[in-house]
Structure formats: structure tokens, C-alpha cells
């Protein structure tokens, strides 16, 4: 079993829809949670960074961490065709020397 599970998709939704992307993990010690966006043939770029549990909002993006369920989510409101990309979750903690553990990424397609 992988430490971080993420549905590879693709997930296809119409423009303007609310998108929900998710990751589950097995190591309850993870404390830092990240979402990266990766366009085709480009390097990933950081979207959201969350410590411990709770919600964090940045514009159209909301990151949610539920440590009791070992489940993190990224919500995208008013989705745009430019949001079409692969979304990668990553997480870490002190015990892993802060090395990031990555999900496989979910490919998201926003249809105009």
C-alpha cells in the first residue's frame, strides 16, 4: 500500500463547476500538507501549504485537512479552462526529515 493515495483521473468537469480533489494517507504523523499544480511538460508549482488540520483559502482555492480521517482535499471554485492540469498532493513531517511524500497526481480537465 502506498503511503499517499491519489486517484489519477482524468477528472473532467464543465467550466464554472466546483472541483474537489482528494488524497488519503496512512502515516498519522504527517503534519505539513501541500498541493502543487503541474501543467503538461512543466515543473510543479506550489498552490497551497497547510500545517496540521483545518482549512486554508486563497482566492478560488481552498485546502482542507482532516487528520482524524487522514484525508486532504483541494477545492477549486468557478473552475476555468486554465485550471486544466495535474494536481499533486505532498506531505511530510519531522520524522521523515521533511522529505516530501507525493501522491501520483490527478489529471483535471475543465471543458469550456
Partner 1 sequence: DGGITQSPKYLFRKEGQNVTLSCEQNLNHDAMYWYRQDPGQGLRLIYYSQIVNDFQKGDIAEGYSVSREKKESFPLTVTSAQKNPTAFYLCASSKGTAETQYFGPGTRLLVL
- Least Cβ distance, residue 49 to partner 1 (angstroms): 6
Rounded to whole angstroms, the Cα distance separating 32 from 51 reads 5
Binding of partner 1 at residue 109 (CB under 8 A)? no
Binding of partner 1 at residue 49 (CB under 8 A)? yes
Sole residue written with cell 486544466: 84
Binding of partner 1 at residue 65 (CB under 8 A)? no
Residues that bind partner 1 (CB under 8 A): 4, 6, 8, 32, 34, 36, 41-46, 49, 88, 90, 92, 94, 97-105
Amino acid at each position: 500500500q502506498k503511503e499517499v493515495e491519489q486517484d489519477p483521473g482524468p477528472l473532467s468537469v464543465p467550466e464554472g463547476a466546483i472541483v474537489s480533489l482528494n488524497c488519503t494517507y496512512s502515516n498519522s504523523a504527517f503534519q505539513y500538507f501541500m498541493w502543487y499544480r503541474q501543467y503538461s511538460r512543466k515543473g510543479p508549482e506550489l498552490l497551497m501549504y497547510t500545517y496540521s488540520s483545518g482549512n486554508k483559502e486563497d482566492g478560488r482555492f481552498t485546502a482542507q485537512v482532516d487528520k482524524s480521517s487522514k484525508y486532504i482535499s483541494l477545492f477549486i471554485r468557478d473552475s476555468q479552462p486554465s485550471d486544466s492540469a495535474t494536481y499533486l498532493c505532498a506531505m511530510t513531517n519531522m520524522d521523515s526529515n521533511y522529505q516530501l511524500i507525493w501522491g501520483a497526481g490527478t489529471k483535471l480537465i475543465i471543458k469550456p
